[in-house]
Amino acid sequence: MSGTVTRVYKDELERFVFDVFQAVGLNEEHSTLVAKHLVLANLRGIDSHGVSRVDIYTKRLDLGVTAKTTEGKVVKESAASMLVDGGNGLGIILATRGMEIAVKKAKEAGIAVVGIKNSSHCGMLADYTMYAAKHDCIALATTNAPSSMAPWGGRVGYFGTNPFSYGVPAGEEQDIVFDMATSVVARGRITLARKNNQQIPLGWAITKDGHPTTDPVAAADGLVLPVGGPKGYGLAFLMEVLSGLLTRAAFGPYIASLYKDLDRNQNVGQFFFVMRADLFEEIKEFKNRMDQMIREIRHIPLAEGFEKIYLPGEIELERTVERQTNGIPLSIHILNELEAVGRRYGLPFPFK
């Protein structure tokens, strides 16, 4: 990060974010859930989906385009599936409940699918697949997003960054949790770079005229690029089908922008596929075999220039340990933004 960085401890940051959402009008349970989710993203190093979102979430809540009461309504249900209308609620709350329902149904039926429509930005998908893995389930989570990426070969945006995450339980080893955007980088990282007055690497995005750029402002007005070219485009397409079309949410260019469209619901969709990890063998045996694979991969001889083979999600786990010990680094720009949010609700700012 450029400029001054302040280390803030997890519990203090959670408490401040909790107080903010209480002041906005969320109940205690939901305020706790949102605060824990956003701070967890910062702990894992996914700063683009952490407390830098507090300002825009609260603005949309104050304007009434995001509902302060988020319950969700069941539209259609079977023993192994459920479609929920989120009623324009906070995506983090809806997605948390959606994954809880999917895990419960998978425990009973073996496999479960839960879709959500009329939702909003749901933060870091890894939080939801981590929950499934902790409950001895294998999970896939997807969401779509406002249009910011052209289909491969095009120069006009259609798809969003359309991330997906998976979680797999292990035994003595750490659960495997993978989370990625189908673009080269999550658009939130460009937003964070703009807030922090940082340049972005070439290859992340292009300007609205189609030129490569390192300027986050020009990138924000332009398009992000799919990871792996046509392969990322293919993945983004599937995430759109699962999150948007299957759930009857908005899709592609019909999803409202989180930051620009402050007069209408985003109508984002989320999709969760969950299965019990003991569908075909005892859970203990499955976890033993997972541990075996993890250990074998870890001990594969290293290629030149590498110091370690990381398992999916292991870098984020290392960051979590470091930041729990030393505090979460926040730039002066994010601290100023949080202070302004607190001032809006008459809250004292504990970080200087």
CA distances from 34 to 127, 180, 305, 328 (A): 11, 21, 40, 17
Catalytic residue among 30, 49, 121, 135: 121
Determine how many CB atoms are found less than 10 A away from the CB of residue 327. Answer: 16
d(CA 235, CA 238): 5
The full 3-state SS of the chain, as one line of letters, equals: CCCCEEEECHHHHHHHHHHHHHHHCCCHHHHHHHHHHHHHHHHCCCHHHCHHHHHHHHHHHHHCCCECCCCCEEEEEECCEEEEECCCECHHHHHHHHHHHHHHHHHHHCEEEEEEEEECCCCCCHHHHHHHHHCCEEEEEEECCCCCECCCCCCCCCECCCCEEEEECCCCCCCEEEEECCECCCHHHHHHHHHCCCCCCCCCEECCCCCECCCHHHHHHCEECECCCHHHHHHHHHHHHHHHHCCCCCCHHHCCCCCCCCCCCCCEEEEEEEEECCCCCCHHHHHHHHHHHHHHHHCCCCCCCCCCCCCCCHHHHHHHHHHHHHCEEEEHHHHHHHHHHHHHCCCCCCCC
> Angle formed by the axes of helices 54-63 and 332-344, to 10°?
30
Residue 135 known to be catalytic: no
Which residue shows structure tokens 């974010």? Answer: 17
Helix axis angle, 314-326 relative to 28-43, nearest 10°?
A: 110
Catalytic residues: 121
